[in-house]
Structures are given as C-alpha cells and as structure tokens.
Amino acid sequence: MIRTIALHFFTSALCLYAPAAALAVTIPTVPVGNPGNANNSNGYGGVANNYRIGTTEVTNAQYAAFLNLKAASDPLTLYNANMGSNASGGITRSGSSGSYTYAAKTNMADKPVNYVSWYDSIRFANWLNNGQGAGDTESGAYTLLGGTPAPSNGLSITRNVGATWFLTSENEWYKSAYHQPAAQGGDADNYWRYPTKSNSAPTIATANAVGDISNPGTNVANYNRGADWNSLDGNVTTVGSAGPLSESFYGTSDQGGNVMEWNEALIDGAFRGFRGGSCIDSLFIMSSSPRYSLDPTRDDVTTGFRVATVPEPGTFCLAAFAGLALLAIRRRRG
C-alpha cells in the first residue's frame, strides 16, 4: 500500500513537471465554463461541456509555421498567392515547389491570417490535433478524403470523436463571443449584442503605422473601416490590441471585426458557417443576430478562423496511471 501511494505521487510529479516537446506553434487559449447554458433567443450559444478557445484568431506567424512544416510542395494549396501580393495578406512564399519556405510580412506576424478556405482551417486543426511537426492534415479531428484541396467528402465532414484541437462549432464560437451569465454582471438574457461585453455599438478602431489599434479601451472593435482598405496593413489590426476592456466575458479578443471566422456549421447542405464580421463590415454583421455562410473552398480577403481545444492528459501520464491501476489489481489478487 505504501509503495502504491509513493508510486502515485512519483508519477503525478512527472506528469506535472516532465518537459513538453517543443512545438512550432503555441495557441493561447482561455477557458469557457458554465457548461449546459441555454441558447439565446436566436437559438445559438448553448454548449454542454467545458472547453478552451483561442484567445485570438490564428495569426500569420502561426499559419506560416504550419506552412513551413506542411507545404514545402503544397499539393493541397494551403497557401494562397494573395497572402503575399495583397496588402491585407500577411505571408510571403519563397523558393520552388518541393522547397517552398514561408514568412510573415513585416508588421503582419500578429495580424490574423486571411485567404484561408474552410478546408485550410480544418487541416490546420488536424495538424494541431496530431501534435504539429509532421502531423497529418487529412485525419485526426476531421477526416478528409481524396488527397485534393477540396476533399471528396467535403460536405459530409464532421468533427471526430476524441478530437482535442478543432475548428469551433457555431455554438462554441457564439458562446465565447456573446454569453455572459447574469449572475456575474451580464445582460438579463445572458447574452450581449456585441462580443465586447456590450449592447451598445463599439467604438470603431483606429490604427497606428504598424497596425496596432491606437484607441484601445472599453468597447472598441476593428470594423467599418472600408474607406482606407488599401492602407499598408490592409485594415487588419494586431490581434488583441483593442485591450482587455474590449474582450468578451470569457477573455477572447476580436470576435467582432478584424476578420470573419469560419465555424463548423453546414448550412443549406452546401456552405460552411462564419460569424463576427471583418474590418470592412458594418456594425450589424459583427452583432449576435446575423448568420452567414460561404462555399468552403472560398479563401477570401476578409475570412480567417480561430481554434478550440479540449485538452487530453499526456501519453506518459495515461500510461503511468494505467500502470498504477494494473498494480492495484494485481495486489488485490495477491
């Protein structure tokens, strides 16, 4: 018995302190609790379980790291040439097929990636789910068949059981953006109209020379900036630069404006959902009311994505605790 307890503390310590393998990309996340919350009057936002969601949209730097590991020849067209040629794109490509390399443009590393299709977004999620590095893009959180940019099973793809990193479902996205329990200071129906903890229109963001929001504070969002679309930064701003006073209740940034964000919803049997509006869209589009969709092959200047996760115990920890269980069984039999 004493030996079993000692082994338990030893393996627990290793699980806590064993160094994790180096990863190409770190995705900051925030926890979304209050499981089992009800939908709002529009029928969205209810999520049965706890999860974590990306604090920000996936950035150019994060996506470029993915490309450098998975798109040396790029048969799946994970890279769109507009990322390099358009002012609002944030990633350049160098070299020739088989040895392509990718880099974020100057002042664009921490801007949200755009020109990504729905299939690009779930392939990135698969790569995260499979441990990054050489991790597969065609299986894991989602199963993509055919080995082509638009998979042969594209309109039947759903999240696989056991996925640990994934594109947000529509309800996961909606809850993290608009939900705020009334018991914790929220609106009477538990949902705000805007993802900045407000029912009042957010202040339109302005940007400095490097694309940081220059008027951070309470209830600020990067939207309705179409007049200067051809500016140096293409109107996208550094993720999170509106500041903590403009975050959602759960601590996410930029779920209103900057870029529209893909979600898992299949709409009208042929389109995939997106929400949140972009930096050139109107106030209404970033609000909690409208629901939009696009062809999943479309990689648009205004469209990006964020990911979510349900962390799993490390492989070693699972093996260690399985060993403890087996030892306990043997001792009982003895």
CB 91 within 8 Å of CB 64:
yes
- Rounded to an integer, the average pLDDT of 131-136 is 97
pLDDT category at 235 given cuts 50, 70, 90 is: confident
Fold annotation for 31-316 = paralog of FGE (formylglycine-generating enzyme) (3.90.1580)
Q: pLDDT (tens digit, 9 = 90+) per residue, 79-118? A: 999 999 988 899 999 999 999 999 999 999 999 999 999 9
Amino acid letter, 256: G
Look at residue 234 in the predicted model and tell me its pLDDT: 53
pLDDT category at 22 given cuts 50, 70, 90 is: confident
Q: pLDDT (tens digit, 9 = 90+) per residue, 170-220? A: 999 999 999 999 877 777 889 999 999 999 999 999 999 899 999 999 999
pLDDT category at 21 given cuts 50, 70, 90 is: low
∠189-191-196 over CA atoms, to 5°?
Answer: 145
User: Crossing angle, helix 315-333 and helix 2-17, to 10 degrees?
Assistant: 170
- Rounded to an integer, the average pLDDT of 3-8 is 40
Look at residue 312 in the predicted model and tell me its pLDDT: 55
Distance CA 109, CA 111 (A): 6
pLDDT category at 12 given cuts 50, 70, 90 is: very low
Q: H helices then E strands: how many in the chain? A: 6, 12
Residue extents of the structural domains in the chain:
31-316
Distance CA 142, CA 158 (A): 6
The burial of 248, by beta-carbon neighbours within 10 Å (0-12 exposed, 13-18 middle, 19 or more buried), is given as buried
Strand partners, 261: 275, 304
3-state secondary structure of 26: coil
Strand 203-204 versus strand 165-167 pairing type: unpaired
Look at residue 11 in the predicted model and tell me its pLDDT: 38
Q: pLDDT (tens digit, 9 = 90+) per residue, 138-163? A: 999 999 999 999 999 999 999 999 99
Q: pLDDT (tens digit, 9 = 90+) per residue, 286-322? A: 999 999 999 999 998 899 999 999 975 443 343 333 3
